[in-house]
Structure 1
Amino acid sequence: MPGYIMAWDFGTSSVKATICTVKGELVSSAIAGYELYHPQPDWAEQNPKEWWAATTKSSKEALRAAKIKPDDVEAISISAQMAGLVPVDKNGEPLRPAIIWLDSRAHDQARKLAGNILSMLITFVRITGGAPGPKDVISKIVWLRENEPHVFEKAYKLLDAKDYLIYRCTGEYVTSWDCASVTWMFDSRKGRMRWSENICRKAGIPMEKLCDTVPSPTVVGELTAEAAKDLGLKKGTQVVCGCGDIPAATVGSGAVRENQVHAYIGTSSWVVAPVTKRKLSISYYIGSICSADPTKYILVAEQECSGVCYQWLKNNLGYRYMVEAEKEGVDVYNVMDRIAAEAEPGSRKLIFTPWMFGERCPLNDHTVRGGFINLSLIHEDRHVLRAILEGVAYHIKWMLEGVQKLIGQVPSINLIGGGAQSDVWCQILADITGKKIRQMKDPIEAGSRGAALTAAVGLGYYKSFDELEKVVPVRKEFEPNPENKEIYDELYPKFKLIYKKLKKMYRELNE
């Protein structure tokens, strides 16, 4: 009888431990949080020991809730935030707080690394399939070497978040191809799949400080006695390498075949399509990274802030919504969605730009910021709420434009993440993009489901990742409303024009 898989979905604010079957069915889950620190502007850090404490707490709670024995857990698999930096010493002890994906302190280093266009194309794009920005690992490592040389010299290994968790589980320093590929130090050409000596030498990064690399479904070790005790599991439980959050979500979305598209709305957003050959759009800042499926890449367009914009409004201006939700015994976002649905499509021409912490695709600008454009006395809170949902959807359409230039038109989008729980948001996204939106079942569990299914492939329960397309069910489909689409088609070009008109001011304010 197949055992269970414990999947860790390791995000920006919390880790969710989930007990899954080998079919990706969810049995139980538990969440534990950790802090996000901003010690300086553009900095975003976390304490790796808080990660482990949250992981052990949630794992024990999930095991209890599932009412199964530790012996019933066949393997652990991980989906984790990517593009982080955790320097550790020879004992695996962190030498400083982790510099996470949201951190953009290394903009000067990124600019120097990329150099001129010709140098960037020859050095980075040809080898890695992309080029470094201020939030990418190679830029952060160079920043560390230049600004904290004592830490850099003492560092035995330079880890990502998932690598740190694997080390705590097994004592091994291993990373997956997908996480390695977003460092932009990894030669991801077919048949290569190894760290680039050329790039590491030019960046001044000793290759011995980097982890070994393997495909995501690989069993990388077994739980040590110490880790097993911390987690409440059996010593010797298999640990599968797993993958970053975007590749895991790709698997968990069910859009696993070539040129199928899924979108995610959570703290951040992305639009992703599996491809068999690396593709790139420099103008849209879209690149290909390695997939959890070792036979494919995934084309990724990423938005830094989406659902967190809605959360920001709730936390800072949403007291009334919280009170109303408590009275009704419902989630506060249900109240906000209901009010947003009362506003007419287009929000009376109020436009929200969701660029609240810099932006990647298609802007690649760490100075850009969010805001409401065309706000007037005729607007009410319903328009403000709806404008946030529409602003995120406008930006997703902008990313989708770049993706479709590379793979052609797509008929539908599989939608996952917390935002996919909102029927209002699903319909807005359908109306703005003009695509059928397929709201996947249990959309917030896509990362956990993807990690579990990746392990199931590695353990031999499926012959290929393509088989997983039929494993993930759809909850509901949303077709575009032609009348609403006409309104959004008028406003969308103005949304894009805002950046062009204001980018100089953003740089003056935020450099």
Structure 2
Amino acid sequence: MSKYFAGIDAGTTGASVIIFDGTGKMISSGYREYRTKHPHPGWVDQDMHELWAGICDAAKQATSSFPGDVKDIVSIGVSSQRGSFIPIDQSWTPLSDAIVWSDGRSNKQTAWMKEEFGEEGYYGISGLNISSLWVYPKLMWLKENWPEIYRNTWKIVNGQEWILHQLGSDELFADPSALNYNGMFDIQTLDYSSELFSRAGLDLDLMPPLLHELRPVGEVSAAAAEATGFAKGTVLSPGGGDQQCAAVGSGVNRQGLAELSLGTAAVMVAQLDEAPDMAQNLQSGVSFGAHAIPGRWDMEGTAHAAGEVLRWWRDTYGQPEVRAAQELDLNPYDLITLEAAKAPVGSHGLIFFPFFNSQANPYFHDNARGGMLGITQIHTRAHAARAVLEGVAYELRMSVEAMENAMGEPFETIRLSGGGAKSLFWSQVQADIYGRPVERLIVSECAALGAAILGGVGAGALPSVDTAIENMVHTRGFIYPNEANHAVYNEYYEIFKKAFLAWAEADVYNDLAAVNEKMANVPAAN
């Protein structure tokens, strides 16, 4: 009997459910979008029942198109958002909408963290720079602003635990890699930091116990089987955080390999074989956390706007490509990259800054904002389109450099996943800017594949993560940097970085944020 493995990737704006065979081939799949809610400026909430309905719809698509008997699907693993959380009561009912990782309501609490710990103090404990994105300041916000909900909360859970409970698990646990953006860990032990909880006046007993192994945590219930199409009794096993699952699904299981997921945001993940030396890395700007493979660490770099930048270009300036794509039944992004390819390397000095809502690793400037530098009358739509693609890669190169410095060696290769990796042109641009070989993966939905692998190992249906990666993860081969292009990009990248740092040090971004806040209450002129 052939065995099949399901992976659920419950993202911020939609859920993918994919069923794989033992070679990593996609057999069937489903996808359903759902929404986030924005009740106040900077707030991002999510109705978990809408998210669950999206998962059920996507699962029905995958199971109904599965060519075999769904009983041959031996396991389900889950990849979930990190940094999103739900306060629940003892019946697992959400007491509020989930507060999503990108929510920015906790600026006051983030300022307290800076005063209480200092940047280096907090980083030395948690492996993360201070940020309003983490659960830690948002949990303080919850206690201060919604005290009744805080008092009535039984546990604070991540999406993964809640989804597995909906599928049929009765076990209370949390996976360390799914909590990497919670900001409440001791990076050396990969356990909750009692110091962080006590100094913030938070209750540690609100947190689920951590599960540091891959094993079954339940089976699909009759109700979940009816809702999803999976067979009752299918084994449930933890997967991990979305980017950690993507690292597994791209084969990052040893130091020297990195995975770069190009979605709405871009996240780069690399394995560390041992705990990081935080004393040596206090100024690195790298985020450290738990790998989805038990007993291993990882490090990350993030750009908060990657595919989102290209979508902005499409919606704002790309209407000719959108119309042509509709007429030719093509993807508009393919036409946009064809337009970008008309411009020369470096876009004749047009430099795009993709900081739509902050700069993350390695400088963590919450108020950094985007723009263009160097525009002249010679620049065309082609130059601007190429500059957008190059600008995203310039920001990501800052993370590449920071992570290589922390690791003490260059990456052997960077494996590209997500929607942005479908573009051969953009992949070559990245190789040229990073100066490193890149590889595109045959299965670009790495988070779902990683969740399926981890679920299969946890169920005992796959022998080990390393063996499963060898059998199930495949690339399209190397894309090597063009050294002449790399030399050109080195020049423009240094200007990109120098300009960003100069504006940051001169408080330009903070001044702009202050003026914007003041003007938000000024009536618009007619």
Q: Greater shift after overlay, 392-401 or 500-509?
A: 500-509
In 1, distance between residues paired with 2:216 and 2:124? 30
Determine the structure 1 residue equivalent to 2:303: 303
The alignment partner of 1:28 has SS state of strand
Matched, 1:143 2:141: yes
Aligned 8 A contact 1:439 1:475 in 2: yes
Aligned 8 A contact 2:7 2:18 in 1: yes
Check 1:181–1:428 CA distance in 2 against 1; reply closer, same or farther (3 A cut).
closer
Matched, 1:419 2:420: yes
Determine the structure 2 residue equivalent to 1:460: 460
Q: Deviations over 1:322-358 (max 9, x none)?
A: 1100111111111111111111111111111111112
In 1, distance between residues paired with 2:164 and 2:202? 22
Q: Shift of residue 221 of structure 1?
A: 1.4
Map of 1:367-406 to 2, 5 A cutoff? 367-406=367-406
Matched, 1:223 2:220: yes
Aligned 8 A contact 2:256 2:410 in 1: no
Q: Greater shift after overlay, 462-471 or 41-50?
A: 462-471
Matched letter for residue 505 of structure 1: V
Determine the structure 2 residue equivalent to 1:289: 289
Matched, 1:180 2:179: yes
Determine the structure 1 residue equivalent to 2:517: none
Select which of 505, 510, 525 maps to 1:507: 510
The alignment partner of 2:247 has SS state of helix
Map of 1:99-178 to 2, 5 A cutoff? 99-115=99-115, 121=120, 124-169=122-167, 170-178=169-177
Q: Deviations over 1:196-228 (max 9, x none)?
A: 333222222212221122136232112222222
Matched letter for residue 334 of structure 2: N
RMSD (Å), alpha carbons: 2.0
Q: Shift of residue 395 of structure 1?
A: 1.1
Q: Shift of residue 487 of structure 1?
A: 1.4
Select which of 245, 264, 269 maps to 2:266: 269
Q: Deviations over 1:55-74 (max 9, x none)?
A: 00000110111123332221
In 1, distance between residues paired with 2:2 and 2:155? 36
Q: Greater shift after overlay, 95-104 or 455-464?
A: 455-464
In 1, distance between residues paired with 2:468 and 2:351? 39
Q: Shift of residue 21 of structure 1?
A: 1.9
Q: Deviations over 1:208-265 (max 9, x none)?
A: 2211221362321122222222212222221111101111010011121123222221
Check 1:84–1:453 CA distance in 2 against 1; reply closer, same or farther (3 A cut).
same
Check 1:271–1:494 CA distance in 2 against 1; reply closer, same or farther (3 A cut).
same
Q: Shift of residue 126 of structure 1?
A: 4.6
Matched letter for residue 437 of structure 1: V
Q: Shift of residue 402 of structure 1?
A: 0.5
Aligned 8 A contact 1:177 1:216 in 2: no
In 1, distance between residues paired with 2:308 and 2:215? 33
Q: Shift of residue 497 of structure 1?
A: 1.8
Determine the structure 2 residue equivalent to 1:429: 430
- Stretches of structure 2 that go unaligned for 5 or more consecutive residues are 515-526
Matched letter for residue 20 of structure 1: F
Matched letter for residue 273 of structure 1: A
Matched letter for residue 432 of structure 1: I
Q: Shift of residue 121 of structure 1?
A: 4.8
In 2, distance between residues paired with 1:75 and 1:137? 30
In 2, distance between residues paired with 1:486 and 1:400? 17
Q: Greater shift after overlay, 379-388 or 366-375?
A: 366-375
In 1, distance between residues paired with 2:469 and 2:64? 31
Matched letter for residue 380 of structure 2: E
Q: Shift of residue 295 of structure 1?
A: 2.5
Taking structure 2 as the reference length, what is the TM-score of the superposition? 0.91
Determine the structure 2 residue equivalent to 1:344: 344
Identity over aligned residues, as a percent?
28
Corresponding pairs, count: 506
Q: Deviations over 1:335-393 (max 9, x none)?
A: 11111111111111111111111222012122111222222332111111111110111
The alignment partner of 1:158 has SS state of strand
Q: Shift of residue 463 of structure 1?
A: 4.2
Aligned 8 A contact 1:175 1:213 in 2: yes
Check 1:207–1:240 CA distance in 2 against 1; reply closer, same or farther (3 A cut).
same
Aligned 8 A contact 2:17 2:58 in 1: yes
Taking structure 1 as the reference length, what is the TM-score of the superposition? 0.94
Select which of 209, 213, 223 maps to 2:206: 209
Aligned 8 A contact 2:288 2:298 in 1: yes
In 1, distance between residues paired with 2:270 and 2:469? 13
